[in-house]
Chain A
């Protein structure tokens, strides 16, 4: 594989306050060097014999390859970020930025402030679309090789000093202001509209429970915090609870294999949330059973561990040894956070 050089996207003579000389030096020396070094590294990578090459050598080459490839890509994006008037955001672009940053002004202030943070050093300021959360973020990188996993940069500001020192010296603020005056928003929008078509990494899907209503740990926490009544049933398998020490605060444990024995404790007037260890089967099946019996039941996505992983409050798990019908069972009270001293 040999990487081919891309022509300059922006027209240097049209830029406002950024000289053609600066762009020419940047394109020729830094972007050009990235391409030629990348090709040299690629040639070395193609030539080495995995059987005899020390692992450290391979690692070094792959590190160089990642940094040089990113340098190439980000320089191309940088040159493609210039050439506009910086002011006119196409409506869909302005809407997306306002959605994710509050307002275009807020975005602008944040972008510029972050750029100042790299003054006198080196790195990139990037506006990146993150498919996982379907939103734009601004982030800085300290070198070429850092990036947001799966993120798609749509606007790049080069804060390596080669990008400005020739003309702006030790005055990065003037350079950043000049960059902002030259942003080409039309092509940024094009890249954004391409980026939003990228699917996020696939999430767990369980076809058999596709129609079953679910609830997230965040939503359950929100119900507890706002004092909404909810009946939370921990249905981790009995064999699991014998070695578990803790339980979601506000939940009671009930044996998922003996639903018939405790279903009578539940109220149909309040929502029911069930969950198991990881959120695969048992919590879902219990919710199905309860719904069939007429309860407003849903399963908590990710189960006990998602609750723990989001630092949800826990309490000591006790008395799972003798759940059964009869006097041991008490009616499950809807949890109201403020009313329960244990939850304070």
Chain B
């Protein structure tokens, strides 16, 4: 009973947080710049390689529900793309800075089953200045302090 309630609490809390990040992820057409651009190139090879993986992860979720998150991993000091289901399977200690909502409610009204078109529209509408602000806020965070010799 208590765990059932706490599970629902976690799901609703994460749903709230991830939706906030999702809405903050959208804006006018822009490009990643500065430290964020450098980090994407460092961690994925190139901005387009990052975009290819991120959008492919979104398109692969069509017909289901879940999130695609660009997340800062303090443990490894790097950005990763991660998939999250049930609002709750997020990287431990990770800081999501960009969120693509692949729950069908986010696109079915406008795009029906055309999830790929929705993902393409999202990729074109990423608010990079907003993501860069989020990145600047989390990239300073250190790992858990558990690394030997830290």
Which residues on A are within 8 Å of B, measured CB to CB?
25, 28-30, 33-34, 120-122, 142-143, 160-162, 165-166, 169-170
Contact = CB atoms under 8 A, between A and B. Distances in A.
Nearest to B114: A29
A169 B109 CA distance: 6
B112 interface: yes
A21 to B, nearest CB: 9
Contacts of A165: 104-105, 108-109
B7 to A, nearest CB: 11
A192 to B, nearest CB: 29
A30 B104 CA distance: 12
A166 B108 contact: yes
Given A122-B104, A162-B63, A166-B108, 20 more contacts: A25-B113, A28-B113, A29-B63, A29-B113, A30-B63, A34-B63, A120-B105, A121-B65, A122-B65, A143-B64, A143-B85, A160-B63, A160-B104, A161-B103, A161-B104, A161-B105, A165-B104, A166-B109, A166-B112, A169-B109
A120 B109 CA distance: 13
12 contacts: A29-B63, A33-B62, A121-B65, A121-B86, A121-B103, A143-B64, A161-B105, A162-B104, A162-B113, A165-B104, A165-B105, A165-B109
Contacts, number: 45
Nearest to B105: A161
Nearest to A119: B105
A161 B105 CA distance: 6
Interface string B67-108: 000000000000000000110000000000000000111001
Interface in B41-80: 62-65
Contacts of A120: 103, 105
A122 B105 CA distance: 10
Contacts of A170: 105
A33 B105 contact: no
A336 B124 CA distance: 78
Contact of B64 (A160, A166, A169): A160
Closest 6 CB pairs of A and B: A165-B108, A161-B104, A29-B113, A122-B65, A30-B63, A161-B105
A92 B97 CA distance: 56
Chain A binding surface, main DSSP class: helix
Given A33-B63, A121-B103, A162 B86 contact: no
Interface of B: 62-65, 85-86, 103-105, 108-109, 112-113
Contacts of A161: 65, 103-105, 108
A30 B105 contact: no
Contacts of B109: 165-166, 169
B112 A25 contact: yes
Contacts of A122: 64-65, 103-104
B112 A160 contact: no
A271 B86 CA distance: 54
B123 to A, nearest CB: 21
Residue picked from B63, B103, B104, most chain A C-beta under 10 Å: B63
Nearest to A123: B65
B86 to A, nearest CB: 6
B85 to A, nearest CB: 8
B70 to A, nearest CB: 23
A28 B64 CA distance: 15
A177 B134 CA distance: 42
A266 B109 CA distance: 76
A34 to B, nearest CB: 8
A11 to B, nearest CB: 21
B65 A160 contact: yes
Contacts of A169: 109
B33 to A, nearest CB: 35
A34 B63 CA distance: 9
Contacts of B64: 122, 143, 160
Contacts of B108: 161-162, 165-166
Contacts of A160: 63-65, 104
A165 B106 CA distance: 9
B144 to A, nearest CB: 26
A142 B112 CA distance: 22
